[in-house]
Amino acid sequence: MSDAATSKRAVEQTAEAIRAGDRVALARAITLVESAKPEDQEAAQTLLETLLPHTGTSIRVGISGVPGAGKSTLIDQLGLNLVAQGHKVAVLAVDPTSSRSGGSILGDKTRMGRLASEPSAFIRPSPAGDSLGGVTKTTRETIALAEAAGYDVVLVETVGVGQSETAVSNMVDVFVVVAIAGAGDELQGIKRGLLELADIIAVNKADGDNVERANRAAMEYKTALHILASGQSGWDPQVLTLSARDNRGLDALWQKVGERHAGLKTSGALAARRADQAVSWMREIFDQRLLAAFKGGRRAARHWRELEDKVRAGAMTAGAAAEELGRLAGLKNSD
């Protein structure tokens, strides 16, 4: 057999193994997708193309919140509940060992420990170093691979750093923000931008003597959402209280997720949303490749640094420097 035929056969075998639910094959495929090596990238794209007809089949849920809000406790318990109902649950999680992720410092090993030992669950931490609040350039691909492996629920966890929430909301169907009652001003810890992204706000830790405060926080979120007057999409963001620790309110949460998902599906908005997401994904990949190809050239890399220094020193405007880079890259303005 020729090399091409051999590698085609290898891809087909991997694809079959993934579809058959082989967890090792799935984990390897994710590693391949995450690899920066050009030959791995090529193999990964071939694999993803082969699996494409079997993707798009899950409910994709983003779960965000500040460290300590109870995301991993919630995902662990919610995942267990869903597995008990016959779902296959994939979790793309923040790696707490990654210093940049801001994940929980406590319990590196016990995070989602119960769910991790479930045969119907698959937990994949984002690689340290390459992650923005648990989201990486390859999270989308990983979602697709998990779907091809038969996971019908994909939970994508993120902590609130920079653009990570926006990035995650651009790859999921339903976005859940896990909040907690704070001291004093309840809304302090949550940015307006995050409220605008949320389909559901789950005020966690509504247990023990914290119930009253959680209820009050929920009221404040409702008021804030009302002021924002979202819901143009035919959905009023929902606020509910729950206790991940005591497994209370989680069924109601999942019901809301299901309602939101079903609503999007029936109206055709889900297909449109996913189509838009795929196109912006293409743009992102292209931007990254373009930039990488350009910066990869030695001459360009040297100029890049020089121009950065000039901009930093105030000797050149950002616009002029970008234009200069454009000229180096052979871009013309008038095309």
The residue (of 213 and 261) whose beta carbon lies closer to ligand GDP is 213
The residue (of 60 and 71) whose beta carbon lies closer to ligand GDP is 71
CB of 271 to ligand GDP, least distance (A): 32
Q: Token pair for residue 50?
A: 């082969």
Candidate segments 46-54, 199-207, 233-241, 275-283, binder of ligand GDP by CB under 6 A: 199-207
CB of 129 to ligand GDP, least distance (A): 19
Out of 21, 56, 68, 263, which residue is the one contacting ligand GDP (CB under 6 A)?
68
**Edge-to-edge, what's the strand order for the sheet holding 89-93?**
121-125, 89-93, 153-159, 59-65, 174-179, 200-203, 238-241
The residue (of 68 and 263) whose beta carbon lies closer to ligand GDP is 68
Q: Are 147 and 54 in contact (CB under 8 A)?
A: yes
243 contacts ligand GDP (rule: CB under 6 A): yes
160 contacts ligand GDP (rule: CB under 6 A): no
CB of 76 to ligand GDP, least distance (A): 8
Q: Token pair for residue 28?
A: 């390897």
Distance CA 161, CA 14 (A): 35
Cα separation values, 182 from 84, 102, 126, 226, 320, Å: 33, 19, 28, 20, 46
Candidate segments 33-41, 52-60, 134-142, 237-245, binder of ligand GDP by CB under 6 A: 237-245
The residue (of 113 and 297) whose beta carbon lies closer to ligand GDP is 113
Residues 229, 235, 236, 240, Cα dihedral to 10° = -150
Please report how many Cα atoms fall inside a 13 Å half-sphere around the Cα of residue 168, on the Cβ side: 34
Q: Are 162 and 191 in contact (CB under 8 A)?
A: no
How buried is residue 137: exposed, middle or buried, by Cβ count under 10 Å (0-12/13-18/19+)? middle
Query: Collapsing DSSP states into helix, strand and coil, what is residue 140?
Result: helix
Candidate segments 162-170, 212-220, 238-246, 265-273, binder of ligand GDP by CB under 6 A: 238-246
The residue (of 33 and 94) whose beta carbon lies closer to ligand GDP is 94
| Contacting residues for 321 by C-beta, under 8 A, at least 6 apart | 307, 308, 310, 311
CB of 100 to ligand GDP, least distance (A): 15
Identify any residues that bridge with 240 across adjacent strands, giving them in sequence order. Answer: 202
Distance CA 56, CA 68 (A): 31
Out of 47, 50, 71, 176, which residue is the one contacting ligand GDP (CB under 6 A)?
71
The residue (of 32 and 90) whose beta carbon lies closer to ligand GDP is 90
The residue (of 135 and 145) whose beta carbon lies closer to ligand GDP is 135
62 contacts ligand GDP (rule: CB under 6 A): no
Positions in 201-220 near ligand GDP (CB under 6 A): 204-205, 207
Positions in 16-55 near ligand GDP (CB under 6 A): none
The residue (of 71 and 256) whose beta carbon lies closer to ligand GDP is 71
Q: Token pair for residue 150?
A: 């038969």
73 contacts ligand GDP (rule: CB under 6 A): yes
Candidate segments 26-34, 242-250, 278-286, 297-305, binder of ligand GDP by CB under 6 A: 242-250
Distance CA 285, CA 167 (A): 13
Residues near ligand GDP, by CB under 6 A = 65, 67-73, 104, 204-205, 207, 243-245
